[in-house]
Amino acid sequence: MTKESSAELTVVIVSDFGHVNGGAAQVAILSGLGLLERRVQTLFVYAIGPLDERLAAGGVARHLPLDDVWSVRNPVRAAMNGIWNTTAATQLAGILAELDRERTIVHFHQWTKAFSPSVIDVALRRGFCSVVSLHDYFFACPNGAYYNYKTAVPCTLRPLSAACLLADCDSRNYAYKLVRAARQTTQRIMLPRHGAMPATIHVSGTARGVLEAHLPKGLRQYVLANPIPMERLDRSPAESNRDHLFVGRLVPEKGCVAFARAARRAGVPAIFAGAGPCEAEIRAANPDARLLGWLPHADIVAAIRSARALVFPSRWYETSGLVCGEALANGIPVLASDRTAAVELVARGVNGDVFDPEDEEVLAALLSRLQSSELVARWSEAAYAKYWAAAPSLESHIGGLLEIYRDLLRPAAA
């Protein structure tokens, strides 16, 4: 799709949040800005503010003022909105009524916090070509992670099977699980009514491999990596750094406590950039660990560039691994869990290594191995060269999006 032909396209981006509060919102906002750069008519529809200043300056945002489902005090109304928010559907229908469905793509990035599946339904009901970016597993799995938070192991159950419905696996409690299961069941019943389902964009091949068997047959599926907007700086000499860094929420499924224990066993410095309920457990497991709390992005980049290695020990099937890309872009080797999409970025023994997140001895051995400056220098140089040889830039991401949009609109134009 050329820049000239893309000017005939309209893209409606739907995101619960209008500001960056996580990976999904960041990708939604960046894709909107990137499409505008390509002169694509773009509308950014969001529910929960504040609005990102860059979008506000572009004048393309449409605010549908809705509450975060779990902030609603009335539990019955919260549950109803979470399962099927008719107000959200009505408001989005008003926006879509102004658009030519033959030339419009409705692209959903987030819909579980405020919008609900009703907004996908209304786009299909009105005949709009629709696509959903799967930043998590909510399109099939009730708790969104395909992971049992109570037993701390990845899930092996068929979503919405009897065993799934009986499993107390939610990150909050079983009542939340029941609401989410009701939402999933309603979505499964309602969306196919219109003779077409939304296409899906998996953000990694790893995530597609986890979810594909649980999606409706015949669904149009694509894989497109998330953009990593990185300024190209000189390689950071990781071999001269000491710290081993974890970035993210300090929660059990992220494997942060296991990293703390492994670092203490290996006798290496461990730093945590993030916050969460595991802080006390990390301090108990490794009294020498440094917990920095949440940091501005510029400070996270500085912490990455000061690290000897980034450790990404997640125990769940992470769909992406943006922080791993940020580390590699700066020449910082990565030790990544083999359950995550980071394995698509890390080549064993080349720019880092991959490990079983349940095996702390192996992780400790890898951390000990990294004390060889010769090895770290070799991995650092390879990390930097390999990343920038094919960097997942915003420009390449937008090019991929436009190809997907063209493919989706082709039947309507035939």
Model pTM? 0.93
Q: What are phi and psi of 337, to 5 degrees?
A: -60, 140
C-alpha 163/C-alpha 159 separation (Å) is 9
- Cis bond leading into 50, ω under 30°? yes
- Residue ranges, the chain, pLDDT below 70: 1-7, 411-414
Angular region, 380: left φ>0, alpha ψ -120 to 50, beta rest? alpha
What does the block give as tokens for 370? 């990294």
Specify if 90 maps to a domain: yes
Rounded (5°) CA angle 340-212-325: 30
If asked whether residues 93 and 143 sit together in one domain, one would say yes
If asked whether residues 292 and 276 sit together in one domain, one would say yes
If asked whether residues 369 and 264 sit together in one domain, one would say yes
Specify if 325 maps to a domain: yes
Specify if 121 maps to a domain: yes
Structural domains counted in the chain: 2
If asked whether residues 38 and 146 sit together in one domain, one would say yes
If asked whether residues 219 and 244 sit together in one domain, one would say no
26 contact partners, CB below 8 Å, separation of at least 6: 20, 322
If asked whether residues 299 and 397 sit together in one domain, one would say no
If asked whether residues 97 and 120 sit together in one domain, one would say yes
With pLDDT > 90 as the criterion, what percentage of the chain qualifies? 92
If asked whether residues 253 and 294 sit together in one domain, one would say yes
pLDDT (0 to 100) of residue 7: 61
Residue keyed to tokens 């309603």: 186
**Nearest CA-CA partner of 309 in 351, 347, 280, 348:** 351
Specify if 233 maps to a domain: no
The CATH number of the domain holding residue 280 is 3.40.50.2000
If asked whether residues 95 and 55 sit together in one domain, one would say yes
If asked whether residues 246 and 269 sit together in one domain, one would say yes
Contact 176, 358 (CB under 8 A): no
Round the CA-based radius of gyration of the chain to a whole number and report it. 22
pLDDT (0 to 100) of residue 5: 46
Domain interval for residue 73: 3-227+393-413
Contact 108, 117 (CB under 8 A): no
Dihedral sign computed on CA atoms, order 291, 297, 301, 306: negative
Specify if 215 maps to a domain: yes
Contact 394, 249 (CB under 8 A): no
Tell me the pLDDT tens digit for each residue of 112-137: 999 999 999 999 999 999 999 999 99
pLDDT (0 to 100) of residue 284: 98
If asked whether residues 203 and 263 sit together in one domain, one would say no
C-alpha 328/C-alpha 374 separation (Å) is 17
Specify if 232 maps to a domain: no
C-alpha 199/C-alpha 4 separation (Å) is 25
Specify if 44 maps to a domain: yes
If asked whether residues 202 and 330 sit together in one domain, one would say no
Rounded (5°) CA angle 257-261-265: 165
**Nearest CA-CA partner of 228 in 138, 342, 129, 369:** 342
